[in-house]
Structure 1
């Protein structure tokens, strides 16, 4: 991408990523950021402030656990087989996820089924759904290519004010958290 836009690597001051392995790599693999730093040791790398799952997982250990279980469940439901993926799509159109998990008839599916039936965990999931939707809106505002630095700062400061409002809202009627309110 840098070559396509005729940008010299030594002109790049910093890079922000969502933490994807292709960008940051692993111990075995070398990610794009590491390769860029080999050619430009002064390069500063940041983790995106708007990566929703990472932000949500920093709320507490319990929220991290719920987020991780949801991600593992999503991966089980989507990646097991193309047949299961088609079955999941059909169940999502017409039924409950617990019925789908029961049909899988495996230890993992049973564990996830118990998780889905736990009201406290589902309340956390509802909160995470709502808060990630707010983060998604911020994400869209920050990605607009026509934004100036002032526009970006305005969006971030506005979101900071919304966070104070959200905190009050969670103590009262949860107007800004409709998924949790519906349960």
Structure 2
């Protein structure tokens, strides 16, 4: 990609990645290969990568995010038959009920996880905050954005965080999934 755009590797100052092994692997990752030619290259981890952000909130949030990711991977990758059953079931019902009908320890563990109200409160928050982060992420991507444009987007998001904090203690207008979760408890 750099060659295609006639960019000399020794002119690259830094690179930001999402932490994927293909990017940061010690031997075969893109960053390691780039550092072979440019040892001064500085690498950063993307500040808005969801799983990293969730883990910085608390260990409990990180655990909930990791469980959700494991459950999704389990539902999608266990078998082609199970994947077809899931797609059919999603047309008719809920994931918790689907998991309950599977005969495996993992499915039972995930089913219990989905029934834990406190964990689902965290999932609701993570869904909403991830949506806001994705919106910021889109503003930070693309061509023809100046550093000023990018800084404006980040500063605007910083101001929104104060609004979000107040909103979470009020009517949750910016957190529809949290609001829906809270309404389900009433």
TM over 0.5: yes
Cα shift at 1:92 = 2.2
Contact 1:56–1:132 (CA<8 Å) still a contact in 2? no
Cα shift at 1:175 = 1.0
Q: Distance in 2 between matches of 1:4 and 1:43?
A: 20
Q: Distance in 1 between matches of 2:88 and 2:152?
A: 42
Contact 1:15–1:44 (CA<8 Å) still a contact in 2? yes
TM-score (normalizing by structure 2): 0.94
Q: Is 1:75 aligned to residue 78 of structure 2?
A: no
Q: Is 1:32 aligned to residue 30 of structure 2?
A: yes
In the alignment, which of 47, 50, 53 is matched to residue 48 of structure 2?
50
Cα shift at 1:182 = 0.5
Q: Distance in 2 between matches of 1:119 and 1:125?
A: 10
Match of residue 110 from structure 2 = 112
Match of residue 139 from structure 2 = 141
**Gaps in structure 2 of 5+ consecutive residues:** 182-186
Contact 1:116–1:122 (CA<8 Å) still a contact in 2? yes
Moved more, 121-130 or 48-57: 48-57
Cα shift at 1:45 = 0.3
Contact 1:129–1:179 (CA<8 Å) still a contact in 2? yes
**Aligned residue-pair number:** 181
Match of residue 130 from structure 1 = 128
TM-score (normalizing by structure 1): 0.95
Contact 1:22–1:32 (CA<8 Å) still a contact in 2? yes
Q: Is 1:121 aligned to residue 111 of structure 2?
A: no
Moved more, 96-105 or 8-17: 96-105
Q: Distance in 2 between matches of 1:13 and 1:31?
A: 17
SS at match of 1:7: coil
**Gaps in structure 1 of 5+ consecutive residues:** none
Match of residue 171 from structure 1 = 169
Q: CA RMSD in A?
A: 1.1
Q: Is 1:94 aligned to residue 92 of structure 2?
A: yes
Instruction: Please identify runs of 4+ aligned residues in structure 1 that moved more than 6 A.
Output: none
